[in-house]
């Protein structure tokens, strides 16, 4: 049975996990899924780390922890912030474990969906936008800079986890986007509240990543799941995500996660 580890700097990757489990059950496929919270502490996420080198070092330690505690056949980095750091980690340079990035999935989704002359507004965390990864790679593919808007959304991922004025915050950020632009949700947290973006042309790479992973699985049988975090996650956020996810196995996994303080 294939062992898949889904990782994110918090909860957003649970949406990919829930989508994957839904597809596996529908197709009667089997997998051993682990969810690895790569955030160091509840009050110290990657966007709080002051410099890029420190962010890379932190994620590098998390990847080592994934190999040690999850021993996966494949790692899905279901986090745009972490995906901007992958290529510069020592782990990636020395590991034989395949790593799939949500950014790669997102770029493919943009290119196959949008007409050549359309514009796209990319909503993301500060780190994702500051890295300019989507902008740089779309320019290489022949896009014009004028077609690409990048909109940083400070604190939106936390607001979604805490149900704190989500609609008001999203309206603030969408107010910066061109009216006829496609909206690309460049943070896995945003997908769970895509309804609040109130737009007819939304690209959400979360389901796309789940589909790609499901298509590669050949085994049939049961699905096993576990989740691990290095700190105790706030109970109110667990309840919020349990209500948002709506996928029973993923919710059960979240509510029964394991705390491992030496995770990384």
Task: Supply the pLDDT for residue 162.
Answer: 85
pTM of the shown model: 0.92
Buried b or exposed e, range 197-232, using 16+ CB within 10 angstroms: beeeebbbbbbbbbebbbeebeeeeeeebbbbbbbe
Region 132-160 average pLDDT: 94
Q: Burial, 95: exposed, middle or buried (Cβ in 10 Å; 0-12, 13-18, 19+)?
A: middle
Name the CATH architecture for the domain at 103-205: 3-Layer(aba) Sandwich (3.40)
Region 25-35 average pLDDT: 97
Alpha helices in 216-255 (DSSP H): 235-245, 248-255
Query: Could you give the C-alpha distances from 204 to 31, 77, 125, 207, 237, in angstroms and in order?
Result: 24, 15, 15, 7, 22
pLDDT tens per residue across span 42-53:
888 887 898 999
Q: Which residues contact 21 (CB under 8 A, 6 or more apart)?
A: 33, 223, 225, 247, 249, 250
Domain 3-101+208-259 has CATH 3.40.50.1860: yes
Task: Supply the pLDDT for residue 89.
Answer: 97
Q: Please check the confidence at residue 208 and state whether its pLDDT lies above 90.
A: yes
Same fold, 3-101+208-259 and 103-205: yes
* Structural contact between residues 100 and 29, judged by C-beta atoms closer than 8 angstroms: no
Query: Could you give the C-alpha distances from 96 to 36, 73, 226, 263, in angstroms and in order?
Result: 19, 9, 23, 21
Q: Which residues contact 217 (CB under 8 A, 6 or more apart)?
A: 2, 24, 29, 30, 31
Task: Supply the pLDDT for residue 38.
Answer: 97
* Structural contact between residues 231 and 11, judged by C-beta atoms closer than 8 angstroms: no
Task: Supply the pLDDT for residue 179.
Answer: 83
Q: Residue 108 corresponds to which tokens in the numbers above?
A: 């493919």
Separation between Cα atoms, residue 46 and residue 105, nearest integer Å: 21
Separation between Cα atoms, residue 156 and residue 243, nearest integer Å: 18
Separation between Cα atoms, residue 173 and residue 178, nearest integer Å: 11
Separation between Cα atoms, residue 105 and residue 209, nearest integer Å: 6
Task: Supply the pLDDT for residue 48.
Answer: 85
Q: Residue 201 corresponds to which tokens in the numbers above?
A: 């042309």
pLDDT tens per residue across span 217-261:
999 999 999 999 999 999 999 999 999 999 999 999 999 999 999
DSSP 182: E
Q: Please check the confidence at residue 164 and state whether its pLDDT lies above 90.
A: no
Region 182-203 average pLDDT: 95
Task: Supply the pLDDT for residue 97.
Answer: 97
148 DSSP β-pair partners? 120
Residue 196 CA from chain centroid, whole number? 18
Separation between Cα atoms, residue 66 and residue 91, nearest integer Å: 11
Q: Please check the confidence at residue 78 and state whether its pLDDT lies above 90.
A: yes
Task: Supply the pLDDT for residue 109.
Answer: 97
pLDDT tens per residue across span 95-104:
999 999 999 9
Domain ranges of the chain: 3-101+208-259, 103-205
Region 168-181 average pLDDT: 92
């Amino acid at each position: 049975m294939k062992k898949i580890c889904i990782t994110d700097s918090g909860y957003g990757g649970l949406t990919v996990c829930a989508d994957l489990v839904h597809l596996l059950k529908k197709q009667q496929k089997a997998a051993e899924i682990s969810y690895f919270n790569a955030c160091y502490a509840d009050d110290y996420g990657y966007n709080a780390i002051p410099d890029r080198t420190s962010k890379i070092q932190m994620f590098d330690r998390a990847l080592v922890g994934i190999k040690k505690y999850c021993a996966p056949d494949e790692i899905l980095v279901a986090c745009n912030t972490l995906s901007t750091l992958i290529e510069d980690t020592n782990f990636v340079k020395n590991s034989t474990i395949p790593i799939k990035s949500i950014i790669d999935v997102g770029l493919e989704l943009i290119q196959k969906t949008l007409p050549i002359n359309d514009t796209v507004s990319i909503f993301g965390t500060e780190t994702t936008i500051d890295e300019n990864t989507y902008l740089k790679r779309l320019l290489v593919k022949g896009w014009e800079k004028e077609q690409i808007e990048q909109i940083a959304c400070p604190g939106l991922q936390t607001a979604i986890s805490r149900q704190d004025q989500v609609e008001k915050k999203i309206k603030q950020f969408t107010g910066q986007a061109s009216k006829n632009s496609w909206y690309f949700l460049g943070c896995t947290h945003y997908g769970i509240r895509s309804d609040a973006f109130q737009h007819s042309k939304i690209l959400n790479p979360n389901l796309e990543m789940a589909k790609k992973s499901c298509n590669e699985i050949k085994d049939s049988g049961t699905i096993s799941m576990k989740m691990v975090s290095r700190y105790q996650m706030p109970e109110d956020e667990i309840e919020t995500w349990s209500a948002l996810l709506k996928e029973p196995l993923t919710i059960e996994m979240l509510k029964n996660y394991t705390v491992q303080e030496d995770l990384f």
